[in-house]
Amino acid sequence: MHTTTDWLTRLIAFDTTSRNSNLNLIHHVADALEGRGLKPWLAHNAERSKANLFVTIPAANGSTEGGLVLSGHTDVVPVDGQEWSSDPFRADIRDRRLYGRGSCDMKGFIAAVLAAVPAMQAAKLQRPLHIALSYDEEVGCLGAPVMLAALQTRGLNPQHCVVGEPTSMRMVVAHKGIHTFRCRVHGKNAHSSLTPHGVNAIEYAAKLIVFINALAADLAHKQQQDSAFDVPFSTLSVGRIRGGTAVNIIPHLCEFEFDYRNLPHIDPLGIVEPIRRHIETVLQPQMQAVDADSRIDLEALHQVPALDGSDQAELHVLIGALVDETVRHKVAYATEGGQFQQAGIPTVICGPGNIEQAHKADEFIELAQLARCDRFLQTLIAAQAA
Ligand SMILES: [Zn+2]
């Protein structure tokens, strides 16, 4: 195998922007693991254009029961429209930093894990270690659930998981969930001189948005807050709207999308109820008084569950000791961690690189961060062997 920087250089050279296949990278890694006598397996998407990779380094006695998963996503965000000083898909080391798309988010962690495989095999592990590489994390965490389902089918039951998203090697124990929704307001066209004959979809959308905005203010003031978060309450915001054809036509259609970020202890779907009730008891009756076919459809788009660290003390002690960390950090961005937790695998987020550098032009990771991750993995392996 190779050093962490060798691995990172290879991984960056695969353009695994989420819209592309990640199979070249996955097969390259699978070949290297097979070359070391391991048995990686893949869990593909429905089109078989992308895959998750999972591999187990068994315990010294051959057991694959329990153990800890080291998890990372292989896809990266696009470089479209960004001004890079060097080729984003060629690792470039300057000023003690390694530049390249995905260097920080999060091929740096994957590289460190792959470089540590020989050490994992050489250690007399008491419990197995597992490596999980996913696809399509950056477009809504679509890959990990496919892999988690395959784990169940195969009877694998890891005990813990570390997702190596960039945290500057601090231990993050919780993050918010993300739920996105689309509202389609169906009104009725009319000439703008005949407003009472039409149902103005834009105006009803606006009424609903004002209602959602008032709910957001309630969340900020009435909900139990968690001051460990940057924004210590759940948030709601409308991010897109489209409707209307001409200024002199009452529009029959308006659609908008909104984003709900819930604190881990808040029921993620509870927010839908007051919105639905407002549609059914207030807005739709007004619309249908003019036109019986008018209505508002509310549809859930994506969801990424929150990571709730409140019940995972054992793992926090284990990983906290390895990174010399007593603070339990909580962050605003979402990861696959909530999905692992939902599958019954307690999870923390801990990986090299600063989230500040993620997704940007000239994304980089400090070589010192990679070295810290290497040391973290060495101590983790030693702990699993003890
Ligand atoms: Zn990431």
CA 294, chain centre distance (Å):
37
CATH code that applies to domain 4-175+306-385: 3.40.630.10
Predicted pLDDT of residue 161: 97
Q: What is the widest separation between alpha-carbon atoms in the chain?
A: 82
Domain limits of the chain? 4-175+306-385, 177-304
User: Which of the following is catalytic: 15, 75, 226, 325?
Assistant: 75
pLDDT recorded at residue 332: 84
Centroid of ligand 1 to alpha carbon of 107 (angstroms) = 9
Q: Is 255 annotated as catalytic? A: no
Neighbours of ion ligand 1 (CB under 5 A): 105-106, 165
Q: What are phi and psi of 242, to 5 degrees?
A: -150, 135
Our answer to whether residue 137 is catalytic in this structure is: yes
CA of 355 to the centre of ligand 1 (A): 9
pLDDT for 1: 60
The C-alpha R_g of the chain, in whole angstroms, comes to 24
Q: List the structure tokens of 265.
A: 């202890």
Residue 137 CA to ligand 1 centre (angstroms): 7
Residue 288's identity, in one-letter code, is Q
**pLDDT in the model for residue 72:** 98
pLDDT in tens, 81-139: 999 999 999 999 999 999 999 999 999 999 999 999 999 999 999 999 999 999 999 99
> Which DSSP letter does residue 337 get?
H
Q: What spacing in Å lies between the alpha carbon of 75 and ligand 1's midpoint?
A: 8
Q: Which of 296, 276, 284 is nearest to 184 (CA)?
A: 296
Cα–Cα distance measured from residue 205 to residue 183, given in angstroms and rounded to the nearest whole number: 8
Q: Do 4-175+306-385 and 177-304 have matching folds?
A: no
- How far, in Å, is the centroid of ligand 1 from the Cα of 111? 14
Fold of 177-304: Alpha-Beta Plaits (3.30.70)
Residues of the chain with confidence (pLDDT) below 50: none
